[in-house]
Structure 1
Amino acid sequence: MELTFYIAGAVAILSTIMVITRYNMIHALLYLVVSFLAVAVVFFTLGAPFMAALEIIIYAGAIVVLIIFVIMMLNLSEESIRNEKEWMKPSIWIGPALLSAVLLAELVYIFTAMEVPASATIPVDAKLVGLALYGPYILGVQLCGMLLMAGIVGAYHLGRQKRKVTHRFLERRSAA
């Protein structure tokens, strides 16, 4: 179990470095998903399967979809549509696929080879997590929601302003 923790940690560090060093947003997003999955495996090996599931559902699912919507909103040109066809080449997705295969192999190893005693983990009910989040931590949850909403509104505003400037430029050019 300790080896799987270190391997998942190494995959998380490597994929996070790849997120930082990629120039293309979609490439970085693929590595970000792998990083989230690696952190979920780390949580699982530490005995927190509910937190691992939340990591996958919230971060690897919802947050990544939100980032994709922002990318789609900001890339409105014909050139970006042509570039999307290049994103599906094997040279782009082979790195994240290999790192994900390592994580999958770790999970298969954990589920098949390890025997965990029944008293090793204490199950946490989703109701208890909800009561904790919306009890003493309600202010933090509300602030996170407001921060995400501000990011969405800001991205929409930036995308909308880009279109207005483009239309004004085209109007001036056609009038001249």
Structure 2
Amino acid sequence: MSDLAAIWCASVALACAILAVTRPAIVHALIWLVAALLSLAGCFFALGAGFAGAVQILIYAGAIVAVFVFVVMTADASPEALARERARLAQGWRRPAAAVGLVALPLALGLLAGGTSPAAAPDSGPSLGAILFGPWAVAVEVASGLLLAALMGARHLGRRREEP
């Protein structure tokens, strides 16, 4: 029964993620993103990984979405800005698509080749902390610096320009 629940939650998460990417209104996209993240938490709970589900809700559906709400609040949503952004997106989709292909191709080849299975996920807070602040401490700090830089960049790009 839990396998069926996990498959159901995964299909809901996939549908919500597709809707989050395809919605033109940023607030609607954010709501679909929250639904996708909560559906993934449901997948974790259905598969018996309660700790991972709780971390999914607290970190992603809570903290990361709060950062996205901050970005939405500071973004310039004027019709002129939206028209400029749509024109940029219509022109520049080839490079990001190539970057996704460069990342996804080795991953797909590794999965098809039957690589080694990943290590078991931590099942408690102290074991997660020991992993994140032990061998992965530098990567965690670099990721936090990148998130801070992205937040500052979003604030800088989203501020309203005062006309002289």
- With normalisation by structure 1, the TM-score equals 0.64
- Cα deviation for residue 144 of structure 1 reads 1.2
Alpha-carbon separation, structure 2, partners of 1:44 and 1:159? 37
Name 1:33's counterpart in structure 2: 34
Alpha-carbon separation, structure 2, partners of 1:41 and 1:150? 31
Deviations 1:41-62 (A, max 9, x none): 1111222111100000011011
State the AA in 2 paired with 1:56: I
How many correspondences in the alignment? 121
Higher relative contact order (CA 8 A, sep 6+): 1
State the AA in 2 paired with 1:150: A
Name 1:15's counterpart in structure 2: 16
Match of 1:12, SS?
helix
Question: Any gaps of 5 or more consecutive residues in structure 2?
Answer: 79-121
Q: CA RMSD in A?
A: 1.8
- Cα deviation for residue 125 of structure 1 reads 2.6
The runs of at least 4 consecutive aligned structure 1 residues that moved more than 2 Å come to: none
Greater displacement, 123-132 / 49-58? 123-132
Deviations 1:4-63 (A, max 9, x none): 011001101100010011000000000100100111111112221111000000110111
Name 1:125's counterpart in structure 2: 124
Deviations 1:52-104 (A, max 9, x none): 00000011011111111111112476xxxxxxxxxxxxxxxxxxxxxxxxxxx
Provide the identity percentage.
Answer: 40
Alpha-carbon separation, structure 1, partners of 2:132 and 2:51? 14
Alpha-carbon separation, structure 2, partners of 1:76 and 1:22? 15
Question: Any gaps of 5 or more consecutive residues in structure 1?
Answer: 78-122, 172-176
Larger radius of gyration: 1
Alpha-carbon separation, structure 2, partners of 1:64 and 1:145? 15
Name 1:61's counterpart in structure 2: 62
Match of 1:8, SS?
helix
